[in-house]
Amino acid sequence: MRYVVAGLHAAGRSACMELRKADPSAEIIGVDPSPEPVYSRPLISYALSGEMSAEAMTVAGEDFWTGLGVALVREKAVRLEPDRARLTLASGKKLSYDRLLLACGAKARPAGVGGIMAREICYFRGRRDLSEIMARVRTGGVAAVLGGGLVGFKLTMGLLARGMTVHLIVSSPRPLSLNVDEHVGAWVGERLRDTAGVTLATNTSVTAVEPGTARPLKLSLSTGNVLEVDLVAAGKGVIPETEWLADSGLERDDGILADRRLRTSDERVFAAGDLAQAPDMVSGERRINAVWPVAVEQGRIAALNMAGVKTPYAGTLAQNAIPVFGSRMISVGMVSPAQTRDCDAVVTGGPRETYLKLVFREDRLVGAVGLDAPPRLGELAFAVRRRLRRRDIPDEWLDNPGNAAPLCAPGASLRQNARIW
C-alpha cells in the first residue's frame, strides 16, 4: 500500500503518525514544498512578540520523519488526476498512490486593497511572512494592522511588543466580531483603546496604499483620512489552497468537499485540515474551521479511514484560546452575534471578574465563550459534541464553575462512561 500525504503541517503530520500506527509496513510518502523543517505555524505570533525564538517553532526535524519511516519529497504538487491515481509534481515527476491525503492547508486572504504599493502589504501565515514583517519592523515606527480577527489582534500585540505604534483598522463595529460575543468583543475593544500605542479604528477600511512622504507608505482610509506608516500587515482570514485542483474533477466549494469520513468525491482521495470542507458539528453544514486542533484531529481520522479502519468524523468545531492582555479568552462553537440571533444564553461567572456564557439553540448547547473563566471550555466542547441539553447542566456547575466536578463525572450528565456500582 502506498500512501501519499500532500502537505506536512498540522493535518499531514498527524496523518503520517496515525498511518504508521495503523499500517506498520506501509510506504508513506510526504510531499511538501518547503525546504525547511516542519514548524508549528500558529507560533509565528509568539515569535513576533519575542516570546519564543524562531528556531523554537520547529516541531518535526529530519529525524522525526526518518524515525516514522516517511519518505520526504520536497516539491510542490501541481496536478492531480484522480482517475489515474497520479500526482504530478512541480519538476514534472509523477507520483502514483493507493491513497492520497490532501492537506495543503490555506493561504492568507488578500486584503483587497488598491494602490500602487498594495504589494507592500504583509500577511501573517508562515515563517516567510514573519521574516518579511520582521524586516520592516522599526522600533518607534508606525504600523497599520488590517482586520480585527484573532490574527489581526496577535499582529497588533506583537508589533506593540516590538516597540511600534499600531493602528488597528477594523471594518466591523467591534474587534473579534466573528470570534466572540458582544460582551467580550466590547471588553477587548475597550482594553485596546486604553492601551498606550494602539489606535483602534472601527467601521473603517483601507482603500489604497501609496508611497508616503514622511514614511514609506501612505494609507487612504474609507473615512477620508490619510495615515502614513512604516508597515502594513493584514489578517483577513484564509483561503484554501485548491486552485491546483481545479481540473482534478474533485468536488469543490470554498475548499475540497469531504464527507463524514473525510473522503472527497474520489474514494481514494481524502482531505484534512484548512482545505477540507467537512460537516460542522453544530450546524451540520459543510464548512471550514481553519484552526489547529481541528486540523490535527482531521488528519488522524482521515488516516484511519485511508488505512481501511472505518472511522466516522464527529465534525469540525470552531475553537480558539488566546491570551488577551493577561486574560485568557476562549470560545467554542457558535458564539458570534450573527450566528446566535435565535439562541438562548446563560451567563455565569466564577469567582472574581470572570465571564462564561453558554449558548443554547432549541435547548441544546451549541457554543460557549469565556473571559478569564475557569479553563473548562474543553468540557463544554465535549458537551457540544454530545448535544447536551440545558437541563442536563446541573445548577451546582453553573453556580460554581471553578470547583464543580466535570460534567462527565459519574452520576453527572454525561454518563457515557458510567460504571456499574
Q: Does 381 sit near other proteins (CB under 8 A)?
A: yes
Whole-angstrom distance, CA of residue 191 vs CA of residue 43: 24
Scan residues 23-42 and list those touching other proteins (CB under 8 A): 40, 42
Spatial separation of the C-alpha atoms in residues 302 and 6, rounded to whole Å: 13
Q: Does 52 interact with other proteins (rule: CB under 8 A)?
A: yes
Least distance between other proteins and beta carbon 243 (Å): 27
Angle at 211 between CA 208 and CA 217, to 5 degrees: 75
Closest to other proteins by CB, 175 or 299: 299
Other beta carbons within 10 Å of 2: 14
Min separation Cβ 161 and other proteins, Å: 14
Nearer to other proteins, 41 or 218 (CB): 41
Beta carbon of residue 382, minimum distance to other proteins (angstroms, whole number):
4
- Do β-strands 2-6 and 99-102 pair in parallel, antiparallel, or remain unpaired? parallel
CA 27-29-32 angle, 5° bins: 170
Three-point CA angle 79, 84, 90, nearest 5°? 25
Q: Applying CB under 8 A, does 69 fall inside the site for other proteins?
A: no
Q: Which residues, 6 or more positions from 117, have their beta carbon under 8 angstroms from its beta carbon?
A: 209, 210, 211, 217, 218
Query: If we measure between CA atoms, which residue out of 121, 109, 151, 132 comes closest to residue 292?
Result: 151
Chain residues 299-358 in contact with other proteins, contact rule CB under 8 A:
300, 319-323, 326, 328, 330, 332
One of 36, 50, 51, 418 touching other proteins (CB under 8 A): 51
CB of 379 to other proteins, least distance (A): 5
The minimum distance between CB 299 and other proteins, in angstroms, equals 9
Measure the CA–CA gap between 109 and 207, rounded to whole angstroms.
16
Kindly state the smallest distance separating residue 412's Cβ from other proteins, in Å: 5
Cα–Cα nearest to 367, from 375, 359, 376: 359
Residue 408 in contact with other proteins, rule: CB under 8 A = yes
Quote the DSSP letter at residue 122: B
Q: Quick check: 293 binds other proteins (CB under 8 A)? A: yes
Binding of other proteins by 54 (CB under 8 A): no
Cβ at position 338, least distance to other proteins in Å: 22
Contacting positions for other proteins (CB under 8 A):
14, 40, 42-43, 46, 51-52, 56-57, 59, 292-293, 296-297, 300, 319-323, 326, 328, 330, 332, 374-379, 381-382, 394, 396, 400, 403-406, 408-412, 419-421
